[in-house]
Chains A and B, each alone.
Chain A
Amino acid sequence: MMLPAIIYMAISSCILAGVYVAVQLVKNFRNLRNN
């Protein structure tokens, strides 16, 4: 019973990491480009 819950947690953490990095890229893009 535990396994499906762990799989769902892993899926959502992975997608959240992607979204978080996307937000950070937008915030930092100008600095990254010009530095």
Chain B
Amino acid sequence: MEMLDSVVIVAYFIGMIIIILMTRKAKSIEDFAVGGRQIPSTIVFASLSATFIGPGYSMGLANKAAGNGYIWVLIFLAFSLQTILVGYFIAPKLRSFEKAYTLGDVMGYRYGKLVKVISGILSVALSAGFVGVIAKASGDIISGITGLPFLWAVVISTVVVIVYSTYGGIKSVIITDVLQFIVLAISIPLILIFMGMETGIAELTAQIPEKINSISGQFPLIPLVGLGLGFFLGETLIPPYTNRALMAKSTKDAKSGFLKTGAFSVVWFFVCASIGVLGLSLFPESDNVFLSAMKTYLPTGLLGIGIAALISIIMSSQDSILNAAAVSFNNDILGSFSTKYMEGKTALTTTRWLNLLIGVMASIFAINVPGIVEALLYCYTLWAPTVVIPLVIAVLKPNAKPLAALCAIIFGGLATGIWEWGFGNPFEVPSLLVGVVANQLAFWSVQAFAQNETEQPLLIPIIEAKNS
């Protein structure tokens, strides 16, 4: 890396800090959690895209495609399809919950306090686990490229994220997300352009090795279906994505933001996979074709921007997930026990402290006690088979029964846990599929037979009357 690249990276950080300082400090919990619900569709789109594009959905995809070819684009397209379906059917209806700050709120409005708290616990654990994983990945990636010591790489990127997300809440997160989106959407395709200038894209496509040139990518059918299902449901409506629907200016903006994201993801996946597929013949020995291509082909100065893009990929996911974890902890867990956490100064101050604490603790654990972060990530495996479908039903079906949702979460979670960690996924059938089936069997059986009214206070839907 040349001096000019270092200057570009430092200038990028300074530019980001200036923009953050120009952003107003969050003044209420509604500001901090949903940005006053004033976000237009293009900004929802850029922020949502910057959030879903983490290291796995960029560099990870490129390196997978270097192993099996464009089949990985087909698998990742399950995510695009999911985002488009959520955009059409769910996001506008989520936005019509005018008082909701989190998906836990939406669950509470339909299914009562107990389901809200469970959704909150899963949301916080999943998000905190991700914050830790990304902190570690940021250390690996940034120290790998820049030569900075691992610990310094983690500290610099994580501290910047924690500071601006604690100060301005979701508004700072969104503005930096948008800036980070612009950098990554423009600079990552440049790798392909410079690869093509040197060798020619047509020549490179002619050199794609036979073993990765077949559309099936030599994947057996059952694991392929399992992977597709994982990409379809695994990250559906995770807290930071749901928050993007809740913060949109209108139902139309929520819909359009998700649809644009779905369409952009198709293009993005193709660009990243192409870097891997075309780079394989140029770097057959490399275990990270993406990084090798970037370092080799981007000229001085642009390499600095490319590295800034990689840092953006990391930070733009971490900041959104951290904000979602803090808001969910305060609102869904603490707020269920005392209304003082639902509004006013206490809500804002507590959420700020939680943002700071979760960011610091998750990063420390990720480096020193990785077992804790791994345990939190069990909630990622449990997400789709527990919360996702009851949440979709909550949005689409006003008369869904609280007991049905509670049973669906319990049975979906148990079935997944037993299949995954008890039996070890026999017959290569993914635990996600088993969990989703159990979740739905439980939901609809209870929905059919349970009484309409319940006297159990924990299962009485919360009335949507919170003041902002």
- 22 A-B pairs, CB-CB below 8 angstroms? A4-B201, A10-B267, A11-B192, A14-B186, A14-B189, A14-B267, A14-B271, A15-B185, A15-B189, A17-B267, A18-B183, A18-B184, A19-B182, A21-B46, A21-B185, A24-B40, A24-B42, A28-B40, A32-B43, A32-B174, A33-B22, A35-B36
Inter-subunit contact A25/B186 (CB<8 Å):
no
Residue in B closest to A10 when the chains form the complex, CB atoms: B270
Inter-subunit contact A18/B186 (CB<8 Å):
yes
Chain A residues with Cβ below 8 Å from B181 are: 18, 21
In the complex, which residues 15-47 of chain B have their Cβ closer than 8 Å to any Cβ of chain A? Answer: 22-24, 35-36, 38-40, 42-43, 45-46
A6–B175 CA distance with the chains assembled, in angstroms? 32
Residue in B closest to A20 when the chains form the complex, CB atoms: B42
Chain B residues with Cβ below 8 Å from A35 are: 35-36, 38, 171
Could you give, for residues 1-19 of chain A, a 1 whenever the CB lies within 8 Å of some chain B CB and a 0 otherwise? Answer: 1011011101101110111
Residue in A closest to B175 when the chains form the complex, CB atoms: A32
Residue in B closest to A21 when the chains form the complex, CB atoms: B46
A-B pairs, 7 with minimum CB distance: A18-B185, A18-B186, A24-B42, A11-B189, A10-B270, A35-B38, A4-B201
A15–B184 CA distance with the chains assembled, in angstroms? 9
**Selected contact of B270 from candidates A6, A18, A25, CB within 8 Å:** A6
B: which residues have CB within 8 A of A? 22-24, 35-36, 38-40, 42-43, 45-46, 171, 174-175, 178-179, 181-186, 188-189, 192-193, 201-202, 205, 264, 267-268, 270-271, 274, 278
Other A-B contacts than A13-B267, A25-B182, A31-B38, 16 sampled, CB-CB below 8 A, are A4-B202, A7-B274, A14-B186, A14-B267, A17-B185, A17-B264, A18-B186, A19-B186, A21-B182, A22-B182, A24-B42, A24-B46, A28-B40, A28-B43, A32-B175, A35-B171
How many whole Å from B280's CB to the nearest CB in chain A?
14
Inter-subunit contact A25/B202 (CB<8 Å):
no
Inter-subunit contact B43/A18 (CB<8 Å):
no
Chain B residues with Cβ below 8 Å from A15 are: 185-186, 189
Inter-subunit contact B43/A10 (CB<8 Å):
no
Q: How large is the interface on A (under 10, 10 to 19, 20 to 34, 35 or more residues)?
A: 20 to 34
A6–B271 CA distance with the chains assembled, in angstroms? 10
With A11-B193, A14-B189, A17-B267 in contact, do A25 and B179 touch (Cβ < 8 Å)?
yes
Residue in B closest to A31 when the chains form the complex, CB atoms: B38
How many whole Å from B205's CB to the nearest CB in chain A?
5
A13–B46 CA distance with the chains assembled, in angstroms? 14
Residue in B closest to A24 when the chains form the complex, CB atoms: B42
How many whole Å from B28's CB to the nearest CB in chain A?
12
A15–B264 CA distance with the chains assembled, in angstroms? 11
Residue in A closest to B264 when the chains form the complex, CB atoms: A17
A15–B189 CA distance with the chains assembled, in angstroms? 7
Chain B residues with Cβ below 8 Å from A8 are: 201
Inter-subunit contact B271/A3 (CB<8 Å):
no
Chain B residues with Cβ below 8 Å from A31 are: 38
Inter-subunit contact A33/B24 (CB<8 Å):
yes
Chain B residues with Cβ below 8 Å from A25 are: 43, 46, 175, 178-179, 182
